[in-house]
Amino acid sequence: MASSLGVRVQSLLVFSTFLFLSLSSLSNSQHTTSFRPKALVLPIIKDASALQYLTHINQRTPRVPVKVVVDLGGQYLWVDCEQGYASSTYRPARCGSAQCSLAMKTLGCGTCSSTPRPGCNNNTCNLFPDNPINQGAAIAEVASDVVSVQSTDGSNPGASVTAKQFIFSCAPTSLLEGLEKGVKGMAGFGRSKIGLPSQFSTAFSFPRKFAMCLASNGVIFFGDGPYVMQPGIDLSTSLEYTPLLINPISTAAAYVLGDASVEYFIGVKSIKINEKQVPVKKNLLSINSTDGYGGTKISTVNPYTVMETSIYSAFVDVFTKEAKALNISRVAPVAPFGTCFSRKNVGTTRVGAAVPTIDLVLQNEKVIWRIFGANSMVQVKDDVLCLGFVDGGVNPRTSIVLGGHQLEDNLLQFDIATSRLGFSSSLLFIQTTCSNFNFTTKP
């Protein structure tokens, strides 16, 4: 689907090229409140049944909390405008405006034949928002409206601040299909110019960085640290770093040919389990710059890490062998997992079940993302633990997609400006969790 849409979209590009001729920065038009925050904070709640990470964006006039799915690799904010969108500060982005230029490679200009409403205006530019959970995509008006977020000193939330012209895409209700009831859209944290991190850093003039700490009650920080979890631990001071890689071929459901992916890829060079090498075909671990296949990305819309079939089976073989050496035996699998173990003989540690450790070896042998039991195993029954990784089939677009369960209780800092990922490893080691941010506002 992606490639055929890619071709279709390319022909539209011809008509919309004129939009890209005047590239002016939007920083001057994004008026903000006079108090200039150094960082912002958003709470994240995990939906226990859908395993989606949700947050609230306070948008519109009068302001309403809009419940959206956190999509780390998403391009921008999109919300359902067809139902219940009422706001006196809604502004469609007019063709040729700075907002359309910033949204880059929009799908040209649109008209709408029914009565004007948010999402249906003449002479506005369009984007192609997608929903990676149901693989849906739509053509939708680009617009801006007021968005308010709480500032933070890194320890508690502070005063609420407002971005007056926050750009988003005004989608049809059908794009919500597959999302939980009450969810009104998706918040894209990808590296595009209109991704949430870039828009907030432009609006409030702080570094183009954000940090994500997933848990059942997690937190996202925009801007630089400190990122303090109770009891008073600043996580920004104990990060290891690895380069963020750019996949030159878009991974969105629909895109304009020539667009790079806005998702966050990292360079996993090898995988080890209890220091034993997992045999993996090397070309699967790198991004093929011709077709964009391969490599490793980080995702919040996949609840568990997904691996290409040959990687998954080699991984399971080594893990099972190492588990056997600890007298941990395999039992019948429980879906969606393919590999489960008896809880018998499995000890407990501060970082979860005492199972073989999994190492993602990054730019060199010294830079390792180590995954312990709390992030590798999922307890599905009293006496059954499953390896929380799933088989992604043969020839998937991306060989390894690191999913939510593997990211929880780890702080990840995405520095877009320097293209660098900071990662903490399990916070359970230092006796805190991603649920430990103090959300009580300081007086």
Residues forming contacts to ligand NAG in the complex (CB under 6 A) are: 111-113, 116, 120-122, 156, 230, 283, 288, 290-291, 326-327, 438, 440, 442
How far apart are CB 326 and ligand NAG at their closest, in Å?
5
- What percent helix, strand, coil does the chain show, rounded to 5? 15, 35, 50
CB of 180 to ligand NAG, least distance (A): 30
3-state secondary structure at position 291: coil
- Min dist CB 116 to ligand NAG, Å, is 4
Q: How far is the CB of 150 from ligand NAG (least distance, A)?
A: 13
Instruction: Tell me if residue 248 falls in helix, strand or coil.
Output: coil
Distances (CA, A) of 166 to 129, 258, 402: 16, 26, 30
Chain center to CA of 359: 22
Min. distance of Cβ 251 from ligand NAG in angstroms? 15
Please say which residue, 92 or 303, places its beta carbon nearer to ligand NAG: 92
- Residue 310 or 438 having the CB closest to ligand NAG: 438
Question: What beta strand segments (E) does 246-299 contain?
Answer: 265-266, 270-273, 276-277, 296-298
The candidate with the shortest Cα–Cα distance to 191, out of 423, 426, 420, is: 420
Tokens of 393: 């089939």
| Nearest distance from C-beta of residue 438 to ligand NAG, angstroms | 4
| Residue with smaller CB distance to ligand NAG, 120 or 186 | 120
Q: Which two tokens stand for residue 211?
A: 């940090």
Omega prior to 207 cis, within 30 of 0: no
| 172: preceding bond cis by omega (within 30 degrees) | no
Task: Give whichever of 133 and 273 is closer to ligand NAG, judged by the CB atom.
Answer: 273
**Nearest distance, CB of residue 117 and ligand NAG, angstroms:** 8
User: Which is closer to ligand NAG, CB of 52 or CB of 126?
Assistant: 126
Query: What gap in Å lies between CA 155 and CA 272, rounded to an integer?
Result: 36
Rounded least distance, CB 437 to ligand NAG, Å: 10
* CB nearer ligand NAG, residue 232 or residue 279: 232
- Helix-then-strand count for the chain, H and E: 7, 34
If the CB atoms of residues 152 and 425 are measured against ligand NAG, the closer one turns out to be 152
Side chain identity at residue 60, one-letter code? R
d(CA 204, CA 200): 6
Which residues pair with residue 41 across a beta bridge? 150, 221
Q: Which is nearer to ligand NAG, 156 or 379 (CB)?
A: 156
238 close to 429: Cβ distance less than 8 angstroms: no
Q: Are 1 and 253 in contact (CB under 8 A)?
A: yes
User: Closest approach of Cβ 114 to ligand NAG, in Å?
Assistant: 6
C-alpha span between 296 and 408 (Å, rounded): 18
Tokens of 353: 């079940």
Query: Cα-flanking dihedrals φ and ψ of residue 109, to 5°?
Result: -100, 150
- The residue among 301, 330, 61, 22 whose CA lies nearest residue 183 is 301
Assigned token pair, 309: 């079939």
Q: Give the Cβ contact number of residue 34 at 10 Å.
A: 5
Q: Which is nearer to ligand NAG, 328 or 358 (CB)?
A: 328
**CB of 111: closest distance to ligand NAG in angstroms?**
5
Which is nearer to ligand NAG, 327 or 418 (by Cβ)?
Answer: 327
**Closer Cβ to ligand NAG, 294 or 403, answer by number:** 294
Phi/psi of residue 354, nearest 5 degrees? -80, 85
Q: How far is the CB of 443 from ligand NAG (least distance, A)?
A: 7
Copy the structure tokens of residue 409: 């209780």
